[in-house]
Amino acid sequence: MKRNIFLVLCLLMTFLTISAQVRKPVAKKGTPTAVKKTNTLATIAMVDLGSDGSLEKPLAEGPDALYFINQLGRAVLAVDKKTGNISQYIPGGRDKMITAIGHDGKDLYMMVTNVGLVRYDGKSRETSPCLFPTSAPGKGLIAHQRAFEGIVFSPNKRWLVAYGHGAILFDLENGACKPVREFITKDVMNAFVFDDGSMIAVMSDYIVSIPHTAAATIKTYHEAEGGAKVFKLESYIKASAIKDGFLYAAWNRFVGKTPLPWQDIKWEQLYQLESSDNRFCNFAMGPKSIIAECSEYGKYYMEWPSNDFSGTPKVTDNITTPIKNPITSLPIKIQRNSDKLHFDHEGNLIMYSYTNLDIYNPEGIKGYTNLKNKKTRYKVE
């Protein structure tokens, strides 16, 4: 009887795997065609947050830990890079929600509703200094205090940008925190700031470049005001990144790059998926490779053996883990929608969505000892 049940389960798994296959993507004309899809066996760590967690905003990476906003801003979780231990790093509160976090390599910064921009002192949110109160009268930021999604820094760590429903630029020179520029617009999906204080804001259907000479207030909808420049897009951008002087972006079934758009945008197409039903969902650029998540009647992954989308990508239907299903004793395969992808400083790919956190590395996970090849259930402390 047990043998018959096992055979039925095996046949069912085979049928589901075949039926879930998608048409293989191809590169643009003149580049190699993608290879056949495979199942990739890799070192992985899986964390199930269950009803106790929700990871939906950009993470912050410090030298020793990864930080995530949890439970809609009521706490910040920390994942220790060496041990993999997960802790509730900063408790939040119903009236003081933590809506955005960022790390400059030394300190963790956060936007807190009804408080403002806070630099964590390592002790508690209450004792941490508020560098700029968003709720103070006359500051001009009251309407945006609940709408921040992320915090990014310039490479030299002098400039900080908090973005979400618009963006705010701060100058942190010599330990100060001076608001320099407010960009008033609809939702900003991603933002980048450079060593001279210039910045790029990426919306779903247009990109705005703001030089360091721009006015203190930028109001940009369809035309630029205050010295910024708007680049209207024909298709919605799903993901973006900056590397080596280029802005990389994915939209629909295309990936392209353009030199940093201070004067004009000139897209160079790097890759095109074959079917009009294929879509890029997101991508992350690592030190040695690039991984993108795509969809066509189900999710699948593409991995380039380079950090600039060159070469032939490997296409993977599932990531097969060494973790066993407790019922079937078969390896668990993951094929899920990850809201965010991030390569950490050790070269591990961090894949996370509302209730799941996966750490993946085909060459073997670096660090996170207590999480390797396990499915861990996080419990609130």
Contact of 130 with 170, CB cutoff 8 Å: no
Tell me how far CA of residue 153 lies from CA of 44, 57, 191, 277, in angstroms: 29, 16, 10, 36
Q: What tokens were used for 145?
A: 């205090």
141-168 mean pLDDT: 84
Give the model's pLDDT for residue 53.
67
Bridge partners of 199, per DSSP, are: 193, 210
Residue at 79: amino acid letter: V
3 located within any domain: no
Instruction: Give the mean pLDDT of the chain.
Output: 81
The domain tally of the chain equals: 1
Q: How confident is the model at residue 290 (pLDDT cuts 50, 70, 90)?
A: very high
For the CA atoms of 41, 44, 50, 54, what is the dihedral angle to 10 degrees? -110
pLDDT tens, 350-378? Answer: 998 877 888 988 788 899 999 988 888 88
Give the model's pLDDT for residue 381.
59
Contact of 91 with 128, CB cutoff 8 Å: no
CATH of the domain at 302: 2.130.10.10
Q: In this model, does residue 259 exceed pLDDT 80?
A: yes
321 located within any domain: yes
pLDDT tens, 89-119? Answer: 988 666 788 989 999 999 999 998 888 899 9
- Triad 185, 186, 188: Cα angle to 5°: 95
Q: In this model, does residue 20 exceed pLDDT 90?
A: no
113-135 mean pLDDT: 88
1 located within any domain: no
Give the model's pLDDT for residue 52.
62
Residue range(s) defining the domain that contains residue 272: 23-377
5 located within any domain: no
Q: In this model, does residue 141 exceed pLDDT 80?
A: no
Q: What tokens were used for 325?
A: 């299903």
Burial of 364 (0-12, 13-18, 19+ CB in 10 A): exposed
12 located within any domain: no
9 located within any domain: no
pLDDT tens, 58-83? Answer: 999 999 999 999 876 788 999 999 99
292 located within any domain: yes
11 located within any domain: no
Write down the pTM of the prediction: 0.84
Q: In this model, does residue 230 exceed pLDDT 60?
A: yes
Q: What tokens were used for 380?
A: 């609130």
8-state DSSP, 33:
B
Choose from 1-5, 177-181, 263-267 the range with maximum mean pLDDT.
Answer: 177-181
